[in-house]
Structure 1
Amino acid sequence: MYRFSKRAVDIIAAILGIILLSPIFLLTVAAILMEDGPGVIYTQERIGKNRKVFKIYKFRSMWKDADKLHEKLRKKYNNTEVSFKLTEDPRVTKTGKIIRKFNIDELPQLLNILAGDMSFVGPRPLPVYEYEEEQKRYGEKYIQRYSVPQGLTCYWQISDRAKQSFETRMQQDVDYAANCCISEDIKLMIKTLFFTICGKAKY
């Protein structure tokens, strides 16, 4: 019953979201085009439920070819974490800083939800390269996080993730997978909306 209800809510909410937020979609597209030209949508392979690979959609928030600088920056900052994040990433555009602050860059994932690749609530899907590194370091330790649909938001999306280790975030995902229910999903969505409106959603 929970899975059926969750999927039904995902479909209805995704359709309504696309319709109601279409003005923001159009403004974002225009801003990206004016600052850095074509290539508005960024796609990346991610790991979904049951470890199925899918392409995630996001509004492009970095300069073109930013992915090519990933390893260079990782070495520059001597980063050995599985997940590489910078609070002041030089690859992020001016438009990108704004849409990231309010999670607008994630809106195209409503299409992923509609297609069934994702849900509104669930562990954030890892990029393939992070998943491969996770497997090398931890094996099947966090396998339970892949037993549920990966989502737009979960526990570590509404916390100070810059201060959390990769292991802490993965364990939070496992905890969600073990205890997910409608009431928990509603609570997480409400908290996510608060963080987004306040501009605290991400760096």
Structure 2
Amino acid sequence: MLKEREYTLEKISIIFQVILSLACFSLVWWFQNLGTEIQMVAVTELKHTLIFIALLWFLLLEQFGLGRMSRRASYVSLSISYFKLISIGSGFLFAINVLTQYEALELTNLFLFSVLNLFVLSSYKNSFFLIMRFFRRRGYSIRQILVIADKGSEDYIERIIHTKDWGYNIRGIMTGCDSLKSNYQSRFKVIPERKNLKEVLDRETIDEVIYCKTDYNQDEITRFILECAEVGISFHHYTGMISKVHGHKIKRSSFSLLNQLPFVTYMTTPDNYAGLKLKSAFDFFFSLFVVILISPVFLLIAIAIKLDDGGPIFFRQERVGLNGRRFSCFKFRTMVANAEALKASLMGQNEQDGPVFKISMDPRVTRVGRFLRKTSLDELPQFFNVLRGEMSVVGPRPPIPAEVEKYKRWQIRRLSMKPGITCIWQVSGRNDIPFEEWMKLDMQYIDNWSLFQDAVLILRTVKVMLVGTGK
């Protein structure tokens, strides 16, 4: 994932900077030709020049590494790099002008373009880092990591700390080294090395584990990889340590870079970074579209619930999301107001195995609630959870904390993807499916995730709603 994310973001950044450079030259050309009659030959020269600039600037931006998202160089150093790039590029354009005699590439145009391009690209890069820092400090798209370290790991830890633009937050440092404890215990949670990693992963919200011990143990690394794979947490270790891991639990391993440090990554979750970003973008815009489109339906349901028994319109319940994050899940209220208090007296009628509580003819369900459940309309407010970034349109259903506490260890991996409004279980029988099979369907979704699969599940969900097979 790290490698693909770095590659994708670098290419997007480079392409955007090329577009900015083309816009700069076009603006200079338009300004220079303002008030004059533009000949067809001049337009042709402009098209050829823009092609030259696009190809040349793409190569130069890659060569100077100015597509990288992480920043260790100062703002002044970045500006100097852009000055060198534009000087070399403008020199090539001048040489092309000598050969072609294009008026679009005359010295005045090249000078104005160089000055404007230097200002625009430097401003873009510096502004990007400032904006990213602003959002990261407010907790957006933060990856919580656990660092496993020893006395030779301080340089690795410092590099991770300074890779702020990637959005990594050190949740804890597991170490037995006294010097690391004294250096970092005031800034991060320091976990004793003797602690069991399984216990730490279960107790803390961890997205990724980074192993950067220099004095490493082969058996320890293999055990850590398998323990992370079991619950769907990515494990990275420095490439100076080669670990041979076998077994069906490890689906993917890849070479990646973390702030120019080479790591091997093991993961059991989808690693299509571009695809997952498209999924996130789709979630937001699709949910926004649904909320706006069916707002009259929201109003009608709210009125019906109020007229039925006069109680609250929404039911709010704490659920467990991505890698253990807690959030409030919204639904239209379908039960009597004191439904949670009545649950204990109905436990003997539970029709689901495992930690889940389900009754087909639950006496707590209201008249309006029964219709909402049958048509799955009670789930509509969860589109607000999607807009808040807590859920996805498609993904494993978010469980309540009490259910997660009773999970078998392999079932915790269903929390490794953002929970969704619908998934395979919702369109395959729901309450008629045993709990163990339900969990396996969620694992099937995670292991075979694709944008196409999401599209199919959304269409199947619409069909289920129209047929009214919910309970």
TM-score by length of 1: 0.93
Give the one of 401, 417, 421 matched to 1:152: 421
Aligned pairs for 1:143-182 (under 5 A) are 143-182=412-451
1:130 Cα deviation from its structure 2 partner: 1.2
Mapped partners of 2:460, 2:426: distance in 1: 10
1:84 Cα deviation from its structure 2 partner: 1.2
Aligned pairs for 1:185-196 (under 5 A) are 185-196=454-465
The number of aligned residues is 198
Mapped partners of 1:6, 1:68: distance in 2: 38
Question: Which digits, 9 at most, give the CA deviation of each residue in 1:62-116, with x for residues without a partner?
Answer: 0111111111100355976311111100000000011111111111001000000
Given the alignment of the two structures, is residue 89 of structure 1 paired with residue 355 of structure 2, yes or no? no
Q: Secondary structure at 1:124's aligned position in 2?
A: coil
Question: Which residue matches 1:184?
Answer: 453
> Which has the larger Rg?
2
In angstroms, what is the RMSD of aligned CA positions? 1.4
Q: Which stretch shows the higher mean deviation, 80-89 or 30-39?
A: 80-89
1:42 Cα deviation from its structure 2 partner: 0.4
Change over 3 Å in CA distance of 1:80–1:14 after alignment to 2: closer
Question: Which residue matches 1:197?
Answer: 466
Aligned pairs for 1:120-159 (under 5 A) are 120-134=393-407, 138=408, 140-159=409-428
Q: 4+ runs of 1 displaced by more than 4 Å?
A: 76-80
Q: Any gaps of 5 or more consecutive residues in structure 1?
A: none
Question: Which digits, 9 at most, give the CA deviation of each residue in 1:163-189, with x for residues without a partner?
Answer: 211111011111111111100100111
1:32 Cα deviation from its structure 2 partner: 0.6
Mapped partners of 1:83, 1:77: distance in 2: 8
1:21 Cα deviation from its structure 2 partner: 0.7
Question: Which digits, 9 at most, give the CA deviation of each residue in 1:10-35, with x for residues without a partner?
Answer: 11011111111111100000001111
1:126 Cα deviation from its structure 2 partner: 0.6
Q: Which has the higher contact order (CA 8 A, sep 6+)?
A: 1
Mapped partners of 2:458, 2:295: distance in 1: 20
Q: Secondary structure at 1:58's aligned position in 2?
A: strand
Mapped partners of 2:423, 2:351: distance in 1: 28
Change over 3 Å in CA distance of 1:54–1:12 after alignment to 2: same
Contact 2:351 2:357 in 1 (8 A): no
Percent identical:
37
Could you tell me which amino acid in structure 2 is paired with residue 148 of structure 1? M
Question: Which residue matches 1:30?
Answer: 303
Q: Any gaps of 5 or more consecutive residues in structure 2?
A: 1-273
Change over 3 Å in CA distance of 1:20–1:77 after alignment to 2: closer
Question: Which residue matches 2:336?
Answer: 63
Mapped partners of 1:146, 1:173: distance in 2: 10
Mapped partners of 2:372, 2:432: distance in 1: 22
Mapped partners of 1:30, 1:87: distance in 2: 25
Mapped partners of 2:436, 2:331: distance in 1: 25
Change over 3 Å in CA distance of 1:149–1:77 after alignment to 2: closer
